[in-house]
Chain A
Amino acid sequence: MPRVTIETLPDYARFLLAAAESAAAQFPVQRTIRLPGLELIAHLDSGTLADALGHAFVEADGGRRDLRQCRIFIGHPGVGDMPVPASWGDAHFTEHGFAQKLAEAGLRGHHFHDLDFWQVYDPDRRVGVQLMRSADAFPPWEQGAPLRAFLHWEYAARGMRLAHAGTLGLDGKGVLLAGAGGAGKSGTVVAGLLNGLDSVGDDYVLIDLDNGVTARPLFSVLKQDPQGFARLGLERRLGGDRPINWQGKHAFHINEIAPRPMRATLDISALMVPHVSGGKTSSIAPISRKDAIIALAPSGIAQMPGERESGFRFFSDLTRLLPCYRLFLGTHPEEIAGTIANFLARAPDEAERDHAGL
């Protein structure tokens, strides 16, 4: 089996792209997914991943204006002439060095060693390949947010960004919820959805800074651990027989609990950092932008391969555009949602006044 080193990495990445494009006619399944400004055409085998592509995304309506097309080949040696994936050589491996080497060659990529799982993307030609040992040899997180690395690279090339953040909104105006895992983002999003607020996503949302801060949906999946699932009343609503995913969480979809069809965008008016306070009631207090960026940026950058500096610059710009708050979470979902709804109903200049008083 061939072994890849940092020196041979760009050549191997080009080899994978060429092999996939040569085998294009041999992929049994083709799926077209309409996302904001992007038509993603996936060529793949039938099976779990093809099923996931059918239900993991929130497809965009919208016209064809500014619509770009990208092609992703999801292959394994059982598809036509697709090669057996190579392993990494013995040299020390770092994500940063890996990404830098590919970036010098105009490419993007990611390698998950346990499975010899490769993802390579050419942002200039908008062609990518995901090579696996077999049809089901992919990391467990791929099912919830499939192809997220390719979306990350494609949108980053266009000045947008996948943020690791939740969203809640009302009448088109919303807040971005940032923080590391366990901070309370997902529980807050579910609490809001169950009590009349909108969301364009939890975990990963697409952020655009062209006209203020806009959040758009990409993935439809929500997750809750069994305790949160029970606490939020989801057992009664969705049934207690939901399977547990790789993180030990129940996965479900936004439209199963949303009060109305999902909006195409939310105009984000504040950045909030949830904090499980232990108090009965929720409250919102201004925090410095320095503290907010440190809550927002690390997980978004660490979870996405490559584009680290551009991510830091992007999240910095985002943070400077918004007033920032800590959201002290109470214990009752209805009260949490009410607190956020009241905040969103305030006049826009109140938020700026809060922040100026820091």
Chain B
Amino acid sequence: MVETAPAPLALPSKDRPFTGVVQGSGNDTTGAAGRLELQSGVKDMPLSDVYAVASRDIVFESFDGEAVVLDLSNGKYFGFSDSGSKVWQALSSGVGTEALIRSAAGAAMIDVATLESFIGQLVEFGLLAPSDATPLPSSDDLPAALASAREPLNVSVHDDLADLITVDPIHEVEEPLGWPAVKQVS
């Protein structure tokens, strides 16, 4: 299992592709037109206004308010913290990024930079993709739900068995050993 909490605000670099860089300074995320100008942390890649679940292979369930996402194509599981679950639920149902960030304004566990970084992670993991849909407003109870979160934004990746699903057993196994001995890159 890999515990993946979003990194604090930092400039993007080769070693830090998703760091939640916000244009402007400090936590001032409001641009000249009064619109949030957001970046995911990927160089020159702004956050999208709205996201959608990246593909039909991304399926998810909720357990007592905590989300678990499975990527059917590679067998990776993603377990979300309580705050992460609420963010996932909002974004995957089409709530606009700007509305989400405004809703998180009063949440002790979520700051803007971390939230942007977290969104970038979800895109990097292939769980979310930018969408052309019209952003939906956040629900009336989302601010309170985010404010009541007890855990920081976090998604843990569980890929212990993913190799068994993703490897091509014809072309990517050690010849004398056969399946499931995966060929190592030398």
Interface status of B158 (Cβ within 8 A of chain A): yes
Interface status of A12 (Cβ within 8 A of chain B): no
Are the CB atoms of A288 and B64 closer together than 8 Å?
Answer: yes
Interface status of B160 (Cβ within 8 A of chain A): yes
Question: What chain B residues lie within 8 Å of A114 (beta carbons)?
Answer: 178-179
A140 to chain B, nearest CB (A): 11
Question: What chain A residues lie within 8 Å of B59 (beta carbons)?
Answer: 309, 312-313
A-B contact pairs, 16 of them (CB 8 A): A93-B171, A94-B73, A96-B72, A114-B179, A288-B63, A288-B64, A290-B67, A292-B63, A297-B70, A297-B77, A298-B158, A301-B70, A302-B75, A312-B61, A312-B70, A358-B64
Question: What chain A residues lie within 8 Å of B63 (beta carbons)?
Answer: 288-290, 292-293, 316, 319-320
Looking at A88, A292, A308, A320, the one whose CB has the most chain B CB atoms below 10 A away is: A308
Q: B6-14, B130-138, B162-170: which lies at the A interface?
A: B162-170
Question: What chain A residues lie within 8 Å of B164 (beta carbons)?
Answer: 302-303
Interface status of A291 (Cβ within 8 A of chain B): yes
Question: What chain A residues lie within 8 Å of B166 (beta carbons)?
Answer: 94
Are the CB atoms of B68 and A293 closer together than 8 Å?
Answer: yes
A-B pair number, CB within 8 angstroms: 77
Question: What chain B residues lie within 8 Å of A358 (beta carbons)?
Answer: 64
Are the CB atoms of A302 and B64 closer together than 8 Å?
Answer: no
Interface status of A92 (Cβ within 8 A of chain B): yes
User: In the complex, A113→B170 CA distance in Å?
Assistant: 6
Q: Which one, A95, A290, A297, A298, contacts B66 given CB within 8 A?
A: A290
Interface status of A265 (Cβ within 8 A of chain B): no
Asked whether A309 and B72 contact (CB < 8 A) given A94-B166, A95-B165, A294-B79, the answer is: yes
Interface status of A112 (Cβ within 8 A of chain B): yes
Question: What chain A residues lie within 8 Å of B45 (beta carbons)?
Answer: none
Are the CB atoms of A288 and B66 closer together than 8 Å?
Answer: yes
Interface status of B161 (Cβ within 8 A of chain A): yes
B146 to chain A, nearest CB (A): 18
Question: What chain B residues lie within 8 Å of A301 (beta carbons)?
Answer: 70, 75
Interface status of A180 (Cβ within 8 A of chain B): yes
Interface status of A26 (Cβ within 8 A of chain B): no
Beyond the given A290-B66, A316-B61, please list 14 additional residue pairs across the A-B interface where CB-CB is below 8 A.
Answer: A93-B169, A93-B171, A94-B73, A94-B166, A94-B168, A95-B165, A96-B57, A288-B63, A293-B68, A298-B160, A302-B75, A302-B164, A308-B70, A316-B68
Count residues of B near A (Cβ-Cβ below 8 Å): 27
Q: Which one, B73, B77, B178, contacts A96 given CB within 8 A?
A: B73
Looking at B68, B73, B75, B158, the one whose CB has the most chain A CB atoms below 10 A away is: B68
Asked whether A294 and B68 contact (CB < 8 A) given A112-B179, A114-B179, the answer is: yes
Closest to A180 in B: B160
User: In the complex, A356→B79 CA distance in Å?
Assistant: 20
A188 to chain B, nearest CB (A): 20
Interface status of A339 (Cβ within 8 A of chain B): no
Are the CB atoms of B179 and A113 closer together than 8 Å?
Answer: yes
Q: Which one, B79, B161, B168, B178, contacts A180 given CB within 8 A?
A: B161
Interface status of A299 (Cβ within 8 A of chain B): yes
Are the CB atoms of B72 and A289 closer together than 8 Å?
Answer: no
B77 to chain A, nearest CB (A): 5
Are the CB atoms of B77 and A298 closer together than 8 Å?
Answer: yes
A18 to chain B, nearest CB (A): 26
User: In the complex, A93→B171 CA distance in Å?
Assistant: 8
Contact residues of B between 60 and 116, Cβ < 8 Å to A? 61, 63-64, 66-68, 70, 72-73, 75, 77, 79-80
Question: What chain A residues lie within 8 Å of B179 (beta carbons)?
Answer: 112-114
Are the CB atoms of A289 and B75 closer together than 8 Å?
Answer: no
Question: What chain B residues lie within 8 Å of A313 (beta carbons)?
Answer: 59, 61
B57 to chain A, nearest CB (A): 8
A316 to chain B, nearest CB (A): 4
Question: What chain A residues lie within 8 Å of B79 (beta carbons)?
Answer: 290-291, 294
B54 to chain A, nearest CB (A): 15
Are the CB atoms of A289 and B169 closer together than 8 Å?
Answer: no
Question: What chain B residues lie within 8 Å of A316 (beta carbons)?
Answer: 61, 63, 68
Q: Which one, A88, A298, A309, contacts B75 given CB within 8 A?
A: A298
A305 to chain B, nearest CB (A): 10
Are the CB atoms of B72 and A308 closer together than 8 Å?
Answer: yes
Are the CB atoms of A92 and B160 closer together than 8 Å?
Answer: no
Contact residues of A between 91 and 148, Cβ < 8 Å to B? 92-96, 112-114
B43 to chain A, nearest CB (A): 31
Closest to A292 in B: B63
Closest to B72 in A: A308
User: In the complex, A290→B63 CA distance in Å?
Assistant: 6
